[in-house]
Amino acid sequence: MYNMQLRSSVLIGVATQCKYVNLNYNIARLTANQAQLSKRSYALRAYYHQPGTRPLRYGTLGQHLQETAAKFSERTALISCHENKCYTYAEVTCEAEKLAAQLKKLGMRGGDIVGLWSTNNALWYVSFLAAQLAGLTVACINPALQPQELAYALQKAKVKMLITKTECGLYKFQEVLKELLPNAAASGTINSDQFPHLRHIVLDSEASLSTTPCAYTNWRELLAAPSAETTQVLQQLSPESACCIQFTSGTTGLPKVALLSNFAFSNQAYFFGQALGLEAGGAKRICLPLPLFHVFGLSVMNAAIEHGATLVLPSARFNSAAVLESISKEGCHIIFGTPTMYVDMLVQLKHQQSLNKISLDTLRLGAVGGAACSPELHTQVKQLFGLSEFRIGYGMSETCGAYFVQTGTESADEAVTTVGRLFEHIEVKVIDNQGEAVRFGEQGELCVRGYLVMTEYLDDVMKTKEVLDKHGWLKTGDKFILESNGVGRIVGRIKDVIIRGGENIFPKEIEDHLDTHEDIVEAQIIGVPDDRLGEEICAYIRLRPDANQLTLENVKDFCKGKIAHFKVPRYIRFVKEYPKTTSGKIKKYELLEWFKKETVN
């Protein structure tokens, strides 16, 4: 738990023949000579604290929604393009208050877990806000989950109520539920040994669910008269209470469940919006193709609410054509996305511009996160989208999203190679394998401490202790370089490092180089088994539609003299699409499985 009283600076005081050094939490009693040596040594260590120019806010997401609605009642809060729906802040708050009252009437109490299992739509937006007003904790569930995966999520998060739709495109939510709970539709109750906590399923359905015995409740029918009960609950709710559960990506095993507090998420949203300039120059329109269930998308949604901005949802799932159309039609000022999303949007943009079908004149700022962005992609996006700024950010599920972001003051080199600077009131350090801080400019594992760090992995003491120490430092698992001015650079994921003949190789460096090839849209590098060297390098490459076919020798020639010989890929594979998570991340472990199956065959 974040300690509001922690002292981030190094304090040195004299007491007789000794000096006392307070390093955040540990008080070391040293001799006068030792203190001077320690002072010089720690001055070079890769530790940085970003002091605040504004105080932290002690409130909840629900309280801040009501504050924004009171201040900007007639501003547009949400535009869901694919549903043709539009809400002002006054309207969406009224809808959320109605739904919150109904959730309380169904027996939901403060701290209960409500699962949100849907795509980007008004149901997700309103239901999340209603849960915050009712003092509930939202478990954000990936809409692509299949029965076995959904069962794990419901059990692990102890979901008491699940809110979803009947279906959305490829996602057949009700069919999955029928497989998990075959008797629920007829029995009128949910009484399952497999899901002992589950009591309610709220389904957005055009058809009435009240004519036959059924354990489902119709979401639309719940939007009834408002109640004063929600206001009373909100007044009693502590900012320290949990507001959200985020499932980690689960690329190396079953997903962990990060518990995030109101205090953490509301302050992250506030300072995120401040860093991106949402406060200045009137209401901003934000195009959000990122999934709301993912921490990146949710943090943008919360930042928009904190600062009275308009959130524009182009489509239920990511669709590059829909994104460009919504920017043009709704006059969006800001666009968010992952690197892979921007790659797809660039291909679509070139096609639509050739047909004179699109105008992005209103767009000023782009932001990218969720994975590393290559310098080549950064340059292309800024130029072809006509952006004044294209900023890179960095964060994770366990920190409510970003806590590094570019500010627009970076040098030309920093703009394409760094993730910018820290949010206010946050500390970071970079450590070696023994847990000691390295020097500025050296590689090590990034650790973060501050208000936005998760409370814990839910009901998983061992996993929590692996990443979160008793002093509040969270280990990120990312190899990182921290400069003395607070600027950060990502080297790569520690778990993705390729060890070839004793050499540690980070895929990002090779990927960034291959991305500069005129015929390559995107490259992904993985390590594959090798009897002699332990691992070898394999490049999975997406070519441009009009590109000439490349060979392994072409790729080797392109790398010669540009990267070290031991980093040159031994294998090359061409793909039309990469396996991705719903949030747009490349599933590198699936690429490895592809390679292994191919080798066996």
Which residues is 543 bridged to in the sheet? 520
- The pLDDT value recorded for residue 19 is 31
Which residues is 334 bridged to in the sheet? 286, 365
Query: Mind giving me the DSSP string for 299-316?
Result: HHHHHHHHTTPEEEE--S
> What's the token pair of residue 305?
């609410």
What is the CATH code of the structural domain delimited by 495-600?
A: 3.30.300.30
C-alpha distance from residue 16 to each of 19, 26, 378 (Å): 8, 20, 57
C-alpha distance from residue 212 to each of 185, 188, 207, 217, 224 (Å): 9, 8, 12, 11, 21
Q: Rounding to the nearest 10 degrees, give the CA dihedral for residues 575, 581, 582, 585.
A: -80
> What's the token pair of residue 382?
């800024």
Q: How far apart are CA 583 and CA 338, in angstroms?
A: 8
> What's the token pair of residue 157?
């998060």
**Three-class secondary structure of residue 170 per DSSP:** coil
In one letter, which amino acid is 450? G
Q: CATH for 61-74+89-237, among 3.40.50.720, 3.40.50.620, 3.40.50.12780, 1.10.3720.10?
A: 3.40.50.12780
With CA atoms as reference, report the closest residue to 370 among 457, 429, 290, 455.
290
Chunked mean pLDDT (size 10), the chain, 601 residues: 39 30 37 44 84 94 96 97 97 94 92 97 98 97 90 95 90 89 70 89 76 73 68 78 88 81 98 90 90 96 97 96 96 94 91 75 94 89 94 96 94 93 97 95 97 96 95 96 94 88 86 93 93 91 88 92 91 92 81 89 68
Predicted TM-score (pTM) of this structure: 0.84
Residue appearing with tokens 């309380």: 104
- The pLDDT value recorded for residue 35 is 44
**How many residues comprise the chain?**
601
- CA angle, 10 then 269 then 283, to 5°: 130
Enumerate the domain spans of the chain: 61-74+89-237, 495-600
- The pLDDT value recorded for residue 186 is 60
